[in-house]
Amino acid sequence: MAGNFIYSTRDHKFIIKEWLDVEKILGLKKFRDYYSKEDVDGILDQALTVCREMVAPSNDDGDIIGAKFNGGRVALPPSFHKAYQYVQANGWGSGHKDIDGEGILPGLLYGAVHEYMIAANPAFVAYVGLAGGIAGIIKAFGTREQVDLFTPKMFEGTWGGTMCLTEPGGGSDVGDMLSKAYPTGEPGIYRIRGTKCFITAGDHDLTENIIHLVLARIEGAAPGTKGLSLFIVPKIWVNPDGSLGEANDVATVGIEDKMGLKGSATAVLSFGEENQCRGILLGSPPDENGFGQGMAQMFKMINGARVDTGHCALAVAAVAYHNALQYAKERVQGRRITEPKGQRVPIVEHEDVRRMLLTQKAVLEAGRAMVFKAYYYLDLIAFSEDPDEVKEASRRLEVITPLIKAYCSDQAWELIALAIQVYGGYGYTEEYPVARQARDSKIYSIWEGTNYIQSMDLVGRKWRLENGAVFKEWLEEIGFFLEKHKGHETLAREFAILAEAFAAYQGLVKLVVRYFMDDIRLVPLYSTRILKATAELYCGYLLLDQALAAEAKLNQGPEDEVFYRGKIHTAQFYLRNIVPEVIATAKLIQEADTSALEMPLEAF
């Protein structure tokens, strides 16, 4: 009951076929011979069916039974096994992360498939995503032998994968980690010692082996993140002929009892308790300054995982929205404010319920617009043959990655709160899915770098890349858009609001750049709010651009009129109700308020 997977493919079809330039992506050499625009509907529809019928049934088991730790091993419910086998065997799984894979879907399409899978069971997707994602890192940085030995089995899902950064003493500050690697007689092989915690999919019984990617410091390397190296550490050693050898001294100490995502095993792993744990160095050993390659390599994974985290948050919140909408149409309570003696009406007729529902729809579609922009850029980066195109896509992606991660995950929590509110008291019970969605979604603002870390990535790093050139180009895209549609008639009010927000935001940037010099403490005080305003500005632009696409469709004929009108209303709502927050934030930051710092600790 509680799972209740309700979803739609319509917005994805709009984004892929009617908004972004899918022909450009499908025209890339990698995809040209495999896919055409006509295939999009069929693939998305089938993917949704598969996720509904094969993956969603595992959602209740994930939450109610969860991952179980017993005798040093982790077991997952049988329905997870069934879904995992099915997804991997039928071409919907980890293999799409293999850039050399034959017939893989472009990210733009697989992104939609992935969203349905997350929505169907958010605790399940990490097992699929990590296997392919980790293999992708090994492929990018490994030797021919390493790639051949590990990646095929991971792309087909026979072996799982993990990313092991976090330690009890090294969370947000990864550089403080204590895990160590000691050279052995064998070149490239190190003895690994250390404890990693919070490792997603760190142990489970879906696959016969798990390939951990472990960050550790080689003896004598530099302190901080610069000195870290990355190691392939199989749970069970893999012999040179590909057969499985002995257990590799990786012990599962336990798994966390969590607020949500209970079907996703979050493990504490102890490497080298018996001093027998062997790791294979990825790339080169630290240079003469003691600088390793580990953090840069891991960041290839982390950047993708940040987009993915935003997408996960969005998908979970979207299921909550679809459920709240259905409930609001059925629940009869109260009368219209204009007809106090009239018939009782479904709550969807009430103004405030409408506001809550449209807030959800608007922010979800805004987030989805950003996420699919990212997939579009990622496809170009991976597969375009035009270096200028690749460069531009990479620069854009740099800026929007922290926006996607933090805005989508912060908003998901608030949107799900609205979904619960729509249900009233019933939303607070576990009989309906929204309470679970709230529990499941909270993690997304925390892992892959907390949202504060994202905000500092934006303000402290992305703003300053190449002396601000990258960020300036990104801002100019919005400026050009405003310029191009100056004097637009039907959406004049929305364009005016966006223009005002754009001007206010530029003022905000100038001011904050000054704060860097005058009182740098103001920057972290305001950074999360700056990130939010940045995302709201960008989302306002994207939704308005979508409204233009919808308007064009309406001008072509009555087909699917309700949907396109809905897109325009959604954009209007977002521009009129949310984008003005950019202007308010810009004003608020001028206050340069430091009360949170001035207050003595004892007064808290």
Q: Of 53 and 431, which has the nearer Cβ to another protein?
A: 53
| Separation between Cα atoms, residue 123 and residue 126, nearest integer Å | 7
Contact 315, 309 (CB under 8 A): no
Among the listed residues 22, 25, 40, 54, the single contact to another protein using CB under 8 A: 54
| Separation between Cα atoms, residue 596 and residue 589, nearest integer Å | 14
DSSP readout, 438-454?
A: HHHHGGGGTSSS-HHHH
Pull the structure tokens for residue 180.
């160590």
Counting residues that bind ligand FAD (by CB under 6 A) gives 19
Among the listed residues 452, 515, 516, 563, the single contact to ligand FAD using CB under 6 A: 452
Task: Work out whether the CA dihedral 121, 313, 99, 294 comes out positive or negative.
Answer: negative
Q: Which does 163 bind (CB under 5 to 8 A by kind): another protein, ligand FAD, none?
A: ligand FAD
How far from chain centre, in Å, is Cα 469? Answer: 26
Q: Of 58 and 454, which has the nearer Cβ to ligand FAD?
A: 454
Q: Would you give the DSSP letter of residue 96?
A: G
Give start and end residues of each alpha helix (H) in 56-106.
57-64, 78-89
Among the listed residues 450, 511, 577, 588, the single contact to ligand FAD using CB under 6 A: 450
| Separation between Cα atoms, residue 165 and residue 199, nearest integer Å | 8
CA distance to 455, 468, 533, per residue, from 528 (Å): 5, 19, 9
| Separation between Cα atoms, residue 592 and residue 474, nearest integer Å | 26
Site membership for another protein, residue 56 (CB under 8 A): no
What are the residues whose beta carbons fall under 8 Å from the beta carbon of 295, sequence distance 6 or more? 174, 215, 225, 226, 228
Q: Which does 53 bind (CB under 5 to 8 A by kind): another protein, ligand FAD, none?
A: another protein
Among the listed residues 363, 443, 509, 535, the single contact to ligand FAD using CB under 6 A: 443
> What track of x and - describes contact with ligand FAD for positions 244 through 283 (by CB under 6 A)?
--------------x-------x-----------------
Q: Is 477 a catalytic residue?
A: no
Smallest distance, another protein to C-beta of residue 17, A? 16
Counting residues that bind another protein (by CB under 8 A) gives 18
Query: Which residue in 115, 167, 448, 536 is the catalytic one?
Result: 448
Among the listed residues 18, 414, 551, 560, the single contact to another protein using CB under 8 A: 560
Instruction: State the number of CA atoms in the 13 A half-sphere of 212 facing the CB.
Output: 34
Part of the chain binding another protein (CB under 8 A), chosen from 44-52, 239-247, 368-376, 463-471: 44-52
Give start and end residues of each alpha helix (H) in 384-491.
387-423, 434-441, 451-456, 469-484
Among the listed residues 166, 297, 411, 570, the single contact to ligand FAD using CB under 6 A: 166
| Separation between Cα atoms, residue 325 and residue 327, nearest integer Å | 5
Smallest distance, ligand FAD to C-beta of residue 531, A? 13
Part of the chain binding ligand FAD (CB under 6 A), chosen from 112-120, 388-396, 445-453, 544-552: 445-453
> What track of x and - describes contact with ligand FAD for positions 196 through 235 (by CB under 6 A)?
--xxx-----------------------------------
Task: Tell me the chain's radius of gyration from C-alpha atoms.
Answer: 25
Q: Which does 172 bind (CB under 5 to 8 A by kind): another protein, ligand FAD, none?
A: ligand FAD
Interactions with ligand FAD, residue window 171-200 (CB under 6 A) = 171-172, 198-200
Return the active site residues: 448
